[in-house]
Structure 1
Amino acid sequence: MSRHWHDLHAPDSRASLYLRAASKRKISGDKLPDEGLRCVMRVQPDNLAAYRRLCHFTDDGRLPATYPHVMAFPLQLQLLTAHSFPFPLLGLVHLQNRIEVLRPLGGIDALRFAVYADNLQPHAKGATFDLITEAEDGLGLLWRECSRTLVRGLRLEGQASEQTDSAPDALAEASRWYADSDIGRRYAKVCGDYNPIHLSAASARLFGFPKAIAHGMWSKAMALAALRGHLPHSGYSFEVAFRKPVRLPSEVVLSASEAGPEGELRLDGQGELLHMVGRWGGL
């Protein structure tokens, strides 16, 4: 597919994008648009410091590997709420997230992001697509993200699949933390993701959840911060699959392989709930 790129000076305001998201409730098509968005986004030092505190990253002079996701979020939001995008943002389910760190993320003031959607496929519960985000500096590509997302209720021709990553066993506990009842609101304040399912029990119930649930990317960031000694500075991937949501408040336990070029992880909750599985490895 030849992609049509739109270069932006800046994304639209988040308020206008959320209004646009709230106004669309139905699927309007079964094909992904061929457009992509590109924009230079600058690092905001105060926001970066707040993100490090929120997700327990130390300040080592490098961006946390999940922070470009935060920088690019307004651009992702604009793509997913565009008139040409056929699926309503509210109700999309984040299934998997893979981040690749190609070069060290140090000494960065700004990044040029490119965002597009690709790979629409049938799924047992609807269909999935990949939201691709790439970040470049003056030397070229240095970071890439693929977020696999479920569109419930969409029917496509072809064999539906529901691939489930196996859960690793016999891993040693690496960390544990308490996800308090307001972590969704605190993450939203720093990262701009105000999905109602994360903000309060009342707003989560509107979308079928008995309680508010933690952002999946907060859980991934917390795991990445806890495993920082396991990973190199660059040349690696860190990917997770989200299973059962973390209902707020609750305690979770992170287990992981020993430090090394490859490894696995899992995030467990109370009552034998498996919240997240993942792995890391070299590129």
Structure 2
Amino acid sequence: MSRQWHDLYTPADRASLYLRAASKRKISGDRLPDHGLRCFIRVQPDNLAAYRRLCHFPDDGRLPGTYPHVMAFTLQLQLMTAPDFPFPLLGLVHLHNCIEVQRPLGAIEGLRFAVYAHNLQPHAKGGTFDLVTEAEDAIGLLWRETSRMLVRGLKLDGTAGELVADDPESLPEATRWYADSDIGRRYARVCGDYNPIHLSAVSARLFGFPAAIAHGMWTKAIALAALRGHLPHSGYAIEVDFRKPVRLPSEVVLSASEAGPAGKLRLDGHGEILHMSGQWRPV
């Protein structure tokens, strides 16, 4: 379809967007908007340095593969809290994330981002849509992210069985780390994602979680940092399914294939809980 674009000088104030998100609690329609948002966003060196420390990325002159997600987060927030967006932001569940690094992410002062939502599909628990974020430099497309989001309780025509991914094979342990009780608050301060389910046990219980849970994109980022020796600098995609949330605090174990152009990964917790599974491949 032909997509209309709204070009912005700068994203809206994040605090106002969170107020807008808090005010919408019900589904208001079953069609995604046919427009997207575009904006040039500059790298903030202090924020980038804080992100590297938080997620254990080295300062190697390149943006971490997950960092454009952080740069574009407010633009994503603005799209999904607009009056014509039919689903409440609070309550969306991040099921799947795929990041493609088309070319090396070095010597970047800013990127032109485009954000849109499409591919609304029925799901056994409601419906899903894809939130797509693309980043371009002067040459063209540099980076793309597709996040599949679940809208619980959405009723759509058609039927769809719940896709249950097979448990991944056993893999050699790569590393393990401890996700402490305040990692959700520390990630929020750096990345701006103040979803209550990540901030404290008290706020998480308001949304049906017995404890605060780690941000999925923090989990993916720290896994990507740990696997940087397994992956090329560019020309790859890394995709993950978020399975069971990481309750805070807890220890997790990252296992992965040997270094190569393609491979698999999994993140496990105690008690044979599978938190995340995925793979990387050339693009």
Any unmatched runs of 5+ in structure 2? none
- Within a 5 Å distance, the mapping from 1:63-102 to structure 2 comes to 63-102=63-102
CA apart distance, 1:159: 2.1
Letter in 2 for 1:117: A
* Counterparts of 1:128 and 1:229, CA distance in 2: 34
Structure 2 match to 1:215 = 215
C-alpha distance in 1, partners of 2:168/2:156? 32
Q: Deviation of residue 111 (structure 1)? A: 0.1
Structure 1 CA distance, aligned partners of 2:273 and 2:165? 15
Distance (Å, rounded) in 1 between the aligned partners of 2:166 and 2:73: 29
Partner letter of residue 60 of structure 2? D
Equivalent in the alignment of 1:18: 18
Give per-residue Cα distances to partners, 1:17-63, cap 9 Å, x unaligned: 00000000000000101010000000000000000000000111100
1:132 corresponds to which letter in structure 2?
A: V
Distance 1:234 1:38 in 2: 24
What is residue 114 of structure 1 aligned with on the other side?
Answer: 114
For the residue of structure 1 that corresponds to 2:255, the secondary structure is strand
Task: Tell me how far 1:241 sits from its aligned partner.
Answer: 0.3
CA distance in 1, matches of 2:233, 2:254: 21
CA–CA distance in structure 2, aligned partners of residues 140 and 178 of structure 1: 39
Match of 1:62 in 2: 62
Equivalent residue runs for 1:179-190 within 5 Å: 179-190=179-190
Distance 1:165 1:236 in 2: 22
Q: Which stretches of structure 1, 4 residues or longer, exceed 6 Å deviation after superposition?
A: none
TM-score calculated relative to the size of structure 1: 0.99
Give the deviation of 1:225 after TM superposition: 0.3
| Paired residue type of 2:79 | L
> How far does residue 114 in structure 1 lie from its aligned partner after superposition?
0.1
Partners of 2:165 and 2:104 lie apart in 1 by 28
Larger deviation: 54-63 or 156-165? 156-165
Q: In the alignment, is the contact (CA less than 8 A) between 1:165 and 1:277 conserved in 2?
A: no
**Residue aligned with 1:230, SS:** coil
* CA drift at 1:268: 0.2
Which amino acid in 2 is paired with 1:167? Answer: D
State percent identity of aligned pairs. Answer: 80
Say if 1:115 and 1:131, in contact at 8 Å, map to a contact too: yes
Contact 1:55–1:218 (Cα < 8 Å) also in 2: yes
Aligned to 2:9: 9
> What secondary structure, in the 3-state scheme, does the structure 1 residue paired with 2:275 have?
strand
What secondary structure sits across from 1:278 in the alignment?
Answer: strand
**What is the Cα deviation at residue 161 of structure 1?**
2.8
Q: Distance in 2 between matches of 1:113 and 1:135?
A: 5
Moved more, 1-10 or 87-96: 1-10
For structure 1, the 5+ residue unaligned runs are none
How far did 1:221 drift? Answer: 0.3
Which residue of 2 is the match for residue 143 of structure 1? 143
Name the CA distance, whole Å, in 1 between partners of 2:132 and 2:204.
Answer: 27
